């Protein structure tokens, strides 16, 4: 369902051009649970952003669910993010001024769902993640693990085809981190495709497949 062909990404800085990705070829099949590994600066986050349509490759072809994404406009990409993709970030990226369920409903707001349905689905999703008692709390009142579970609820609310997680356990203690990985495994069993970027080996080993990136090229596991 994800197919990358010779994906390159360079940043043009005033003095030098940095090639972050130097020709990545990669396949992710439906219902896969893939971990992308690699040292810092290897380009794995950039790769995830490109997969998530938050960023565009400098060159190469990217087919998402059979659709060529590279020619899409900004708004079409926003539409794809809204319908197909759920993000989970290392630093949670919850809006601090919104209570938990308001954070969770955001993707539905931008997908044009009405207010009653948004609220109902947000509470259902929080319940699924065992957080219904925290629905009216602000992110600052939640523990790191809870915040990340709210973020997962938000990622899941619009029934995305793929969950993309960028170091989802990076800001958590090991116990909370385990919990998050267990959640991902459960979701994967339900049929959600998951791509996780991590540099923790034991987390990556929970995934069905490991892709290793080094210096912007694929080292192993890309097919």
Partner 1 sequence: MDVIEVIRISRDSLMGNRVRSFLTMLGVVIGVASVIMLVSIGEGARSYIGRELGNLGTNILIVVPGKTSAKGGFHPPAATTIRKLVYDDALIIKKRSRHIQDAVPLILGTSKIKYLNQSKDNSVAGVTEMYFEIRNLSVESGRFISPSDVDSGRKVCILGRTVKKDLFGDKNALGALVAIGDGKYRVIGVMEKKGVTLGIDFDDIVFIPTTAAQELFDTDSLFNITVKVRSATEIEAAKEDIRQILMKRHANREDFTIMSQDEMVAVMGKILNIMTAVLAGIAAISLLVGGIGIMNIMLVSVRERTREIGIRKALGAKNRDILLQFLIESVTLSLIGGTGGILFAGLLSFVIPYFVEFLPTHLALWSIVVAFLFSAAVGIFFGVYPARKASLYEPIKALRYE
Q: Which residues bind partner 1 (CB under 8 A)?
A: 49, 52, 54-55, 74-75, 78-79, 81-83, 87, 89, 93, 95, 97, 106-107, 109-112, 114-115, 154, 158
Would you say 157 or 204 has its CB closer to partner 1?
157
Alpha-carbon distance of 203 to 36, in angstroms, equals 11
**CB 146 to partner 1: min, Å:** 18
Sheet holding 33-37, edge to edge: 85-88, 162-166, 193-197, 33-37, 209-214, 217-220
> Would you say 203 and 35 are in contact if contact means Cβ atoms under 8 Å apart?
yes
Would you say 3 or 82 has its CB closer to partner 1?
82
Would you say 78 or 210 has its CB closer to partner 1?
78
**CB 86 to partner 1: min, Å:** 9
> Would you say 83 and 65 are in contact if contact means Cβ atoms under 8 Å apart?
no
Max Cα distance, the chain (Å): 53
**CB 55 to partner 1: min, Å:** 5
Alpha-carbon distance of 164 to 85, in angstroms, equals 7
Would you say 153 or 204 has its CB closer to partner 1?
153
**CB 221 to partner 1: min, Å:** 25
């Amino acid at each position: 369902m994800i197919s990358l062909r010779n994906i390159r990404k360079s940043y043009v800085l005033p003095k030098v051009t940095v090639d972050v990705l130097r020709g990545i070829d990669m396949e992710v099949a439906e219902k896969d649970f893939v971990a992308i590994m690699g040292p810092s600066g290897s380009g794995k986050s950039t790769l995830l952003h490109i997969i998530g349509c938050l960023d565009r490759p400098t060159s190469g072809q990217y087919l998402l669910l059979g659709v060529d994404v590279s020619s899409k406009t900004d708004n079409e990409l926003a539409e794809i993010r809204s319908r197909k993709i759920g993000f989970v970030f290392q630093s949670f990226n919850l809006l601090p001024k919104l209570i938990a369920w308001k954070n969770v409903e955001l993707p539905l707001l931008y997908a044009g769902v009405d207010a009653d349905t948004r609220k109902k689905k947000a509470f259902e999703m929080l319940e699924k993640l065992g957080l219904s008692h925290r629905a009216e709390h602000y992110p600052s009142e939640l523990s790191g693990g809870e915040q990340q579970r709210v973020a997962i609820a938000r990622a899941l609310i619009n029934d995305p085809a793929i969950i993309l997680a960028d170091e989802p356990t990076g800001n958590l203690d090991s116990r909370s981190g385990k919990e998050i990985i267990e959640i991902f495994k459960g979701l994967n069993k339900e049929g959600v495709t998951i791509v996780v970027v991590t540099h923790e080996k034991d987390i990556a080993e929970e995934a069905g497949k490991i892709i290793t990136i080094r210096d912007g090229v694929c080292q192993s596991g890309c097919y």
